[in-house]
Amino acid sequence: MMGQFENLLFEKDNGIGMITINRPKALNALNGATLSELDALCDQLAKDNSVKVVIVTGSGEKAFIAGADITEMQPMSAVEGRNWGKFGQAVFNKLENLPQPVIAAVNGFALGGGCELAMACDIRIASEKAKFGQPEVTLGITPGFGGTQRLPRLVGKGRAKELLYTGDMIDAAEAYRIGLVNKVVPPEELLTVAKGMAAKILSRAAVAVQLCKAAVNEGMDMDLDSGVAYEAEVFGLCFATADQKEGMTAFTEKRKANFTGK
Ligand code: CO8
């Protein structure tokens, strides 16, 4: 267990760190206090080698996160809005670039900042009850926590623009069809499936998993030549790990690898 928060729950269990956004009365809407706590938790997680995989979910039956807190944004000036957007973007960038893989277990509404937070995670698993959307234009604003950038990168420009311009909500099946989520499961199985995937990732060579994440995240912002050059460097680094020796020795000895994360 790490530091206590007011708007987040955090639990550690066998290498899995479980973050629950916990403002169920406001459908887990992200206010400034919640974002600050998430920022602090990401700083802690980045230094915590005992957490190998992170899961993010929302508290209660209804919502993952129903967006940024509209009552807090309502009186903002242009400068305050810009600063608020920059803060949220910085927190989501931190989450996206945590060394550990992060799985979003989307249990309900993932709207606005909630959809944007899910997109800053590495993998999205949705409950059949989940709903996704970027309804900002219905409020007179654009997405401000990365939505205009991460959505087209995930689902393509045309589909992203339709969601951004109409503000329409889509259900989990449609989110799966357009590639916004990796899989859809019955609500009661959501956390079991997310933990099962986390456990599978945990059974793999941890340094190699983290380097896969770094190579994808860094490489997506590079041209192909630079990206594959970066890949060659992280690939080489793996040969300095005990887990590479163990993984390949286990293969030649026809046994299961026993990784230590070193
Ligand atoms: N902010 C604050 N409070 C919220 C929010 C929110 N985003 N969403 C829900 N709530 C509150 C409601 O006000 C309500 O409170 P109360 O009980 O005190 O009246 C409570 O949560 C329950 O909500 P509802 O009664 O509305 O529940 P329904 O089941 O009727 O509806 C919906 C559920 C459809 C999810 C509905 O609540 C809704 O439309 N919520 C707003 C969704 C939305 O528009 N989200 C996008 C917000 S904008 C955004 O995220 C931009 C991010 C980037 C900003 C960067 C700026 C620079």
- Domains present along the chain, CATH in parentheses: 8-202 (3.90.226.10), 206-252 (1.10.12.10)
Q: b/e string for 152-163 if b means 16 or more Cβ within 10 A?
A: bebbeeebbeeb
- Point out the ligand 1 atom lying closest to the alpha carbon of residue 73: 56
User: Measured between alpha carbons, how far is residue 145 from residues 20, 22, 189 in Å?
Assistant: 19, 19, 29
* Complex ipTM tops 0.90: yes
Question: What is the predicted pLDDT for the residue at 219?
Answer: 97
Neighbours of 49 (CB within 10 A): 10
> Ligand 1 pocket, 27 CB below 6 A?
yes
Question: What is the predicted pLDDT for the residue at 172?
Answer: 98
> Ligand 1 pocket, 133 CB below 6 A?
no
Question: What is the predicted pLDDT for the residue at 1?
Answer: 46
> Ligand 1 pocket, 58 CB below 6 A?
no
CB 105 within 8 A of CB 88: no
> Ligand 1 pocket, 95 CB below 6 A?
no
253 given a catalytic annotation: no
Select which of 6, 37, 96, 136 is catalytic: 136
Give the pLDDT means over successive 10-residue stretches in the chain (262 positions): 82 97 97 98 97 97 97 98 98 98 98 98 98 98 98 98 98 98 98 98 97 97 97 98 98 97 94
Question: What is the predicted pLDDT for the residue at 3?
Answer: 57
In tens, the pLDDT along 239-262 reads: 999 999 999 999 999 999 999 999
Select which of 96, 116, 246, 253 is catalytic: 116
